[in-house]
Amino acid sequence: MRKLRHKKLYIPPLIWGKSGHIQTALYGKMGRVRSPHPYGHRKFITMSDGATSTFDLFEPLAEHCIGDDVTMVICPGIANHSEKQYIRTFVDYAQKNGYRCAVLNHLGALPNIELTSPRMFTYGCTWEFGAMVSYIKKTYPQTQLVVVGFSLGGNIVCKYLGETQANQERVLCCVSVCQGYSALRAQETFMQWDQCRRFYNFLMADNMKKIILSHRQVLFGNNVKKPQSLEDTDLSRLYTATSLMQIDDNVMRKFHGYNSLKEYYEEESCMRYLHRIYVPLMLVNAADDPLVHDSLLTIPRALSEKRENVMFVLPLHGGHLGFFEGAVLFPEPLTWMDKLVVQYANAICQWERNKSQCSDTEQMDADLE
């Protein structure tokens, strides 16, 4: 396919928009400004191991630009869900552009949904996302899919598509925003104080600890059939953990029986699967993202140079899932990221429609001859 060009430059707010830390802090603290409240229906799926996966389904609020039935299947960032403000803002915008949206709620992330098995979401587990996609395909047999992942969700959706060719059926395109591509490579940079990554690591680890401990009865209780490698001493180590790597090593990898943190990160990272994705793929990062070290960006850069279906978008500013817009001081409710994803999806849909029409015309000409 011929590579698409996005012509709208990202211009951050004048006073603070060129600081990746402020962009990231604003996203982390308040998500978005004046966030809408889209109305959706919560769906429940019982997984084979007894876990209860949930996702929220939002119907389109307008006709799609090409008049087709298109569903965005969305995977949020670490410990996030459909009620987060940046997800609500994006869903509302996508609905108004004619997209149905299905948003995965990471297992254990919703405070009002109890775990029903001793397992939580992990860095690269695609089971729940795959179950949501299967539900959408079965319920809406005519719909086509646009796959979207934010941060950790970007890793999950890319890994899902690359796991098997069948997962790419009826998929028009995929968009990944602000992911790091390789946890194995990222773990060393996450322990460095450069760009305050060690501080962000501590904050995210603290949040993960709170979520895990809120489910400790299900995960660590005496009457629970825990993974064989998960021991009571791991709960003690969890209390003292100050980094995501310590939590992953002592708890998360054991949900899936990995023998080491290295094995867990190697197997769960999407880097091993990116070359197996054949649908149009847009990988978006910000050069000033304090969470994603510059060395990790060689992965999408090299892939986009080798593969015609891959586009790598790297604005100078935006932070981690920020990309706020605004003239001077106050940010707009809608971000450049929201607009970019929808505009790319629209362009791919239009491209597919034109390609189909050209094929039909060529077939008619051939029949006439």
Asked about 320 being catalytic, the answer comes back as yes
With left for phi above 0 and alpha for psi between -120 and 50, is residue 319 left, alpha or beta? left
73 alpha-carbon distance from chain centroid: 10
Q: How many angstroms separate the CA atoms of 284 and 281, rounded?
A: 10
From the list 19, 289, 317, 338, the catalytic residue is 289
Asked about 182 being catalytic, the answer comes back as no
* Residue type at position 78: I
Task: Output the six-digit token pair for 342.
Answer: 């929808």
Q: How many angstroms separate the CA atoms of 179 and 50, rounded?
A: 29
Asked about 289 being catalytic, the answer comes back as yes
Q: How many angstroms separate the CA atoms of 1 and 86, rounded?
A: 31
Spatial strand order in the sheet of 144-150:
41-46, 52-58, 100-105, 70-75, 144-150, 171-177, 281-284, 310-313
From the list 92, 234, 320, 338, the catalytic residue is 320
How far are the Cα atoms of 18, 82, 124, 177, 354 from residue 326, in angstroms, in the given order? 12, 25, 35, 20, 35
Which residues form the catalytic set? 151, 289, 320
